[in-house]
Amino acid sequence: YPEEVNRLAAGLPLADEPSTPPESIHCIRQWQKQGGPCLLGETEKPKARLLVWGDSHALMMADVIDQQGAANQIEVVFAAEAGIAPVPNTFPAGRGPKALPVSETVEKWLANESVEGVLFIAKWPMYLYGRNDGKVDRLLSTTENKATLPKDAIRHFNDHFGPLVRQLKSRGIKVWVMRTVAYQPRRVPETLAQIARRGKDLNLLALPVSVHRKKDKPTNDVLDSALANTDVRMLDPIPFFVDNSGTYLMAKNRNGLYSDDNHLSAYGASLLAPMIDEVFKELVK
């Protein structure tokens, strides 16, 4: 196939675009082995400190967070573990209580350290409503109740995430929560390669943003309800991927924006730099 088709199929960016996360990245389970949390941004003489707590959707943002942290002289304590929500005292149904130490590790760190802000980034729909294919192995569960229905997971989210945020706010800590990036209807790299092979516009199969908004509304309603009256800043990534016609893009500037159907590519994450930059600027106001 032509080089462009192979590049898109592999999810690779153009040569002059960001492509790799920081080499020093390590997940929460590795904190003890690595001698502490993963540190990004400005680690020598920071103006402030931000905790980023999340799952693989946080990991996909590591590069842009590192860059913007350095640019704004902010130290970032990066707490991420794929497949585990940043919600204390809960675990994904399919993993069982053995996953509890992940959030406990971050909670213990927070109890003994000072930060000016916390940013939560996660694949929220998966923990509240299940996977796209209908599997419920990631629904938020507790030791008292293994969730099998969204209503159970939503109850656990309200019981544990809301109180966590309110506790942080009571300590004078600023809190941001990033809404989930929209799920694409199909895996993006392979889709773009097939479209490019036919010489068509790379966004041929991209959906109107209104379709994504409708699908995301139940999750966003749960987030907004759990965090009502907390003065938490909600970050919305969707506008950064919408063109003038109202299409939610799969590709921009010949670069795929996703590495599958829900994780951003390095280039896609780089488009959120202005949003992350605002977080750091608000942190030191």
The burial class, CB within 10 Å (0-12 / 13-18 / 19+), for 230 is middle
CA distance to 179, 230, 276, per residue, from 219 (Å): 9, 18, 22
Q: Are 283 and 50 in contact (CB under 8 A)?
A: yes
Q: DSSP letters of 136-194?
A: -TTSEE-SS----SHHHHHHHHHHHHHHHHHHHHHTT-EEEEEPPPPPPSS-HHHHHHH
Reported as a single tens digit per residue, the pLDDT across 234-249 is 999 999 999 999 999 9
Q: What are the residue ranges in the chain where pLDDT is below 70?
A: 15-24
Q: Is the dihedral of CA 60, 62, 68, 74 positive or negative?
A: positive
> Measured at the alpha carbon of residue 120, what is the angle toward residues 140 and 211, in degrees to the nearest 5?
75
Q: Is 270 left (phi over 0), alpha (psi -120 to 50) or beta?
A: alpha
pLDDT at 23: 61
Q: Considering the entire predicted model, what is its pTM?
A: 0.95
Torsion of CA 183, 273, 75, 167, to 10 degrees: -50
pLDDT at 22: 58
Q: Are 262 and 181 in contact (CB under 8 A)?
A: yes
pLDDT at 16: 63
pLDDT at 21: 55
pLDDT at 133: 84
Q: Are 181 and 215 in contact (CB under 8 A)?
A: no
